[in-house]
Structure 1
């Protein structure tokens, strides 16, 4: 029984790795897309650097809610890199439902959610690495190198969980296509929640205390705020707690995705796609 279970897991791992390799090669074929997104990231970061430099009055020693100018700029580099790392999962699922390709996905040897996670993971990790390099190219000259000690360890440790949480949130929105087909409105709402209470544009520490308490009960900070804050303010004790919170949200969201997927497939079968 144990050997049989191990064989199934090994087979699933090989399928996921194969799909990931294909997605990675697919990403490398679109160099223009990488260049356009890189230019957009440079532009956004340049604007934010100017705004925060004005807010700090160019004082590199001044700290606002525990963040110096250097820390806030690198925090934005990390949150922007994580945000732009996510591929357009919702629109892909929406198109599959609209044109009927979802029926082909369902009969493949890898599960529908597992297939999309393999593609998402490969693309997101590649984009994240590229965007970190692009963001560093503008942050480094303005505020100096990211000398945050073990902060890189915190960033890497929490980024995997952060991207997994992002995938599950996007999957929940994308699976709504089984019922409403058009998910762009729902994705818009999710994106704006990530931008604001997820801590992308502004660290949660700088928000009012009542809003911080609300954010603590939502999954969005686990997708952006945790890894970026840990990168610039490494805390070994807090790292374990944040990893545990990420795992908790991953379990809860995975259960929600699983339930929603089963109900969506049943509806698809009833309606014939």
Structure 2
């Protein structure tokens, strides 16, 4: 049983002391394969990206009226153009992230997780690499179409620094979002049905993550609460950094993302180890 457990908990155990390059190459191959698979369906990719056009049209009409009613050029330090570019980036991130919690839940429920745990890769990292292959393409499509639409509405986007800073933050936001998806999926080992957790998480992202409205527009107390939760650093952080690419804000976003990645990622790892051990004890 001990040899079986070592194989399950550390799938790379079948290769003695693999180099870091070999391990990275393995997940790079998974990412690349998923990327190629996604490229095989360009119409589906385009259809998903076009959804951002509808959202930007709705937001433009809503915020144009709001700014007009206040008679102010800016609200909470954001002009109408800033708000629209913020919302474009927020929607691009939201629409591109892949919710893998349902996939993991189904694999736990139908037992296929036992088969995957014996593969020569880490179950969690496998799903992250595959999901990243989908997200990168979807994000690119959302950015291209979203940028074209918002540029026509309010003028040119922020400078190059905003794109670079936001791009770096988006990578970490995907990783943080995946940790939550994995946490929800792995909870199926305990509760089996995870739809309620998935629904709650999505609503937290929409309301407290800054998808529907910049957190800057919240009352001070609610803004403080939101900024002390991880959801803001999945959506709000990268989007706000896009329109205000200061080094101070970059440091704040990276610090918060790093803290929450450590906390949530640590919980995911503990749950994964216990779940794998449970499979071994129960005979798979």
**Alignment TM-score, normalising by the size of structure 1:** 0.92
Shift of the 74–207 alpha-carbon distance from structure 1 to 2, 3 Å rule, reads: same
Residue of 37, 47, 57 corresponding to 1:26: 37
User: 2:170 is paired with a residue of what secondary structure?
Assistant: helix
Q: Any idea what the Cα deviations from partners look like across 1:32-61, whole Å, max 9, x if unmatched?
A: 321321232211221111111111129997
Shift of 1:212: 1.4
Residues 17-46 of structure 1: CA deviation (Å, up to 9, x unaligned) = 110011101111222321321232211221
Name structure 2 gaps, 5 residues minimum: 1-14
Q: Is the 8 A contact 2:46 2:141 kept in 1?
A: no
1:183 is aligned to 2:194: yes
Task: Work out the CA distance in 1 between the residues paired with 2:269 and 2:244.
Answer: 35
Match of 1:212 in 2: 223
Tell me the residue number matched to 1:11: 22
Higher relative contact order (CA 8 A, sep 6+): 2
Q: Tell me the distance in 1 between the aligned counterparts of 2:81 and 2:118.
A: 51
Which consecutive residues of structure 1, in runs of 5 or more, have no partner in the other structure? none
Alignment-derived partner of residue 177 in structure 2: 166
Which of 118, 122, 139 is 2:150 aligned to? Answer: 139
1:6, 1:267 → 2: CA distance?
A: 25
Q: Which of 27, 30, 42 is the equivalent residue of 2:53?
A: 42
Question: Secondary structure, in 3 states, of the residue corresponding to 1:150?
Answer: helix
Secondary structure of 2:121 counterpart = coil
Q: 1:56–1:62: 8 Å Cα contact kept in structure 2?
A: yes
Moved more, 25-34 or 130-139: 25-34
Number of positions where the alignment pairs a residue of Structure 1 with one of Structure 2: 270
Q: Alignment RMSD, CA only?
A: 2.2
Structure 1 contact 59–69 (Cα < 8 Å) conserved:
no
Distance (whole Å) between structure 2 residues aligned to residue 60 and residue 121 of structure 1: 43
Q: Distance in 1 between matches of 2:47 and 2:270?
A: 37
Moved more, 15-24 or 234-243: 234-243
Is the 2:99–2:178 contact (alpha carbons within 8 Å) kept by the matching residues of 1?
Answer: no
1:203 corresponding residue in structure 2: 214
Q: Describe how 1:61-72 pairs up with structure 2 within 5 A.
A: 62-72=73-83
Kept in 2: contact 1:178–1:267 (CA 8 A): no
Indicate whether 1:77 and 2:88 are aligned. yes
Task: Report whether the alignment pairs 1:263 with 2:274.
Answer: yes
Q: Which residue of 2 aligns with 1:86?
A: 97
